[in-house]
Chain A
């Protein structure tokens, strides 16, 4: 419980000084989690792969020598169509002669952006709903949980297909934002349930009574006292959600309901190259394997975090 008390910083006027000893204990908790995670070699490998993919996406313009007049993502090499690996195009070119390395790296930007942004929005909604329902209980809880049930009951791909067919028809970046909003709008219920459960269990605990007695208001109690204690499951859910959302985005884009040209994600790459599978299998395999490896790494990291954050595995 020492970490909880140290959350009550001196400026809040609660009177618990952040003594060096408390600070050390607080660091100690993170240290334990970090050590446990590091020992899980598979999860660390997943994290390393993920870091590599993220860096490649961020530095895509540098890696592919993008200049003001030359965009490797759209430039076509008309002498090499669906070429397969050749000098100058290490992964070959696609069906209109665009460099496959550039397509892959710039596609990573869109896929990762959609996965991350929709996760953030989804977690925000899920945590808000779950926290309010779990904290206040009563009719508010009942109402919010029925809404959550309703969202869970609607078959995900049916509603996403219907809405995406209408709302992501805009071109390029408008469609990317549309996909992010749609995925977030239908992926929050699971998080809301998890957070509600955590809040229900935590709100009756003594440290909360103590904080309330000291004058903390509801908002502060939820945000500073309960939420940090529910952080573990939320972090795990958030991690796994990124992978899930990347798959959802790629599926939408594969059926042309997702990211629209001129933007392209791994899903759109698959959609446009599926007819060339027999001719040049690489065009399908490259984006597909990219999705597979990325989501696999995310899931491994998520499971590693779950084990590392599990309080029942605590060791001192």
Chain B
């Protein structure tokens, strides 16, 4: 197991290194280049040369790559064109908002998906089962941004119950601690629900089918034969085993934290990583885009590995060699 994890980690490092070269070249091959947006047409040639020098853009490509790689390894990730700040600081400032959104929306999705998945597996082919199926089909076929627009229109504009943007109110001066909390909650509800929708649709189907698989197993028959109540067979034996593949899927989906929220965050102006990416794209802030792409890939790879390890840890039948 340990050797397996070490091998996978070495593989991941090699892959990320190759990807860093690929992504770097890709960004630098883009028309306009990383420096095209830095400069105003009114700059003098001297100012321009000076700026290019400051950002290291006058160096050969290989030198630029190496200094970016060094900044990745030392943890400051280079400097943003737009703000001049280290990219790591820009990203760090956005992480809490995205974590808040992701944590709340994934926990909500997990609870709802387990409920729906269990109900539709226990009552297979019932009206509830069919309703959950229909809902999840709609959930998977519905573009996230369309769902977000409808939610904003109904709950934000027409009913006026929830704010359609941002993480807090524009002016929170004089708010008590409780009012601040209340303010944060009402801002969180809509983006969290929108983000959780796709996960609920996918996960509930997943749990339903893995429940139905587990119920066919011999040890379930044994448990029933022992005379256990069907409730404890379902929740004590079947659900516990059916949850294993779902949890690994959840771990994989958590890995998408860097890219998964870009649509939702942009639509709700949620000041997280996704919005940072979108803003950086509008400003053609290539150092930020480059580092976020690489971190996004790293996060997917790490959480995939974590899912595999988790699987082996909670399911003793799984062995890696």
Contacts and interface: CB of A to CB of B under 8 A. Distances in A.
Interface of A: 146, 149-150, 152-159, 161-163, 165-166, 243, 247, 250-251, 254-255, 270, 274, 277-278, 281, 284, 288, 291-292, 295-296, 299-300
Report whether over half of chain B's contact residues are helix, strand or loop; otherwise say mixed: helix
Contacts of A292: 138, 141-143, 146
B160 to A, nearest CB: 12
A220 B11 CA distance: 34
Task: Give 10 closest A-B pairs by Cβ, nearest first.
Answer: A155-B259, A296-B141, A295-B141, A155-B296, A288-B146, A153-B297, A153-B300, A158-B259, A166-B30, A277-B153
Contact of B296 (A154, A165, A243): A154
Interface in B1-53: 11, 15, 18-19, 22-23, 26-27, 30-32
Given A154-B293, A157-B263, A251 B137 contact: no
B19 A270 contact: no
A106 B302 CA distance: 44
A296 B262 contact: no
A155 B256 contact: yes
Given A155-B260, A158-B277, A254-B145, A146 B300 contact: no
A86 B44 CA distance: 59
Contact of B277 (A156, A161, A284): A161
Nearest to A250: B143
B149 A165 contact: no
A163 B286 CA distance: 12
Interface residues of B, number: 43
Interface of B: 11, 15, 18-19, 22-23, 26-27, 30-32, 137-138, 140-146, 149-150, 153, 157-158, 256, 258-260, 262-263, 266, 277-278, 281, 289, 292-293, 296-297, 300-301, 304
Contacts, number: 109
B143 A161 contact: no
A150 B292 CA distance: 15
A99 B213 CA distance: 51
B149 A247 contact: no
B262 A161 contact: yes
A251 B146 CA distance: 9
Given A157-B259, A277-B153, A288-B149, A162 B141 contact: no
B266 to A, nearest CB: 7
Contacts of B277: 158, 161
A149 B15 contact: yes
Given A158-B277, A166-B31, A288 B153 contact: no
Most chain B CB atoms below 10 A, which of A153, A163, A166, A284:
A153
A285 B168 CA distance: 29
A295 B262 CA distance: 22
B261 to A, nearest CB: 10
Given A254-B145, A284-B149, A299 B140 contact: yes
With a 10 A CB-CB cut-off, give which of B15, B149, B277 has the most chain A CB atoms.
Answer: B149
Contacts of B260: 155
24 contacts: A146-B15, A149-B15, A150-B18, A150-B19, A152-B300, A153-B297, A154-B19, A155-B258, A155-B259, A155-B296, A155-B297, A157-B262, A158-B262, A158-B292, A158-B293, A161-B281, A270-B149, A278-B158, A284-B150, A284-B153, A292-B142, A295-B141, A296-B141, A299-B137
Contacts of B266: 255
B175 to A, nearest CB: 29
A163 B30 CA distance: 8
A163 B281 CA distance: 10
Contacts of A281: 153
Contacts of A284: 146, 149-150, 153
B146 A270 contact: yes
A278 to B, nearest CB: 6
B26 to A, nearest CB: 8
B297 A299 contact: no
Contacts of B31: 166
A277 B157 contact: yes
B157 A278 contact: yes
A187 B27 CA distance: 20
Nearest to B147: A288
Contacts of A295: 140-141
A274 B278 contact: no
A159 B293 contact: yes
B27 to A, nearest CB: 8
A270 B297 CA distance: 30
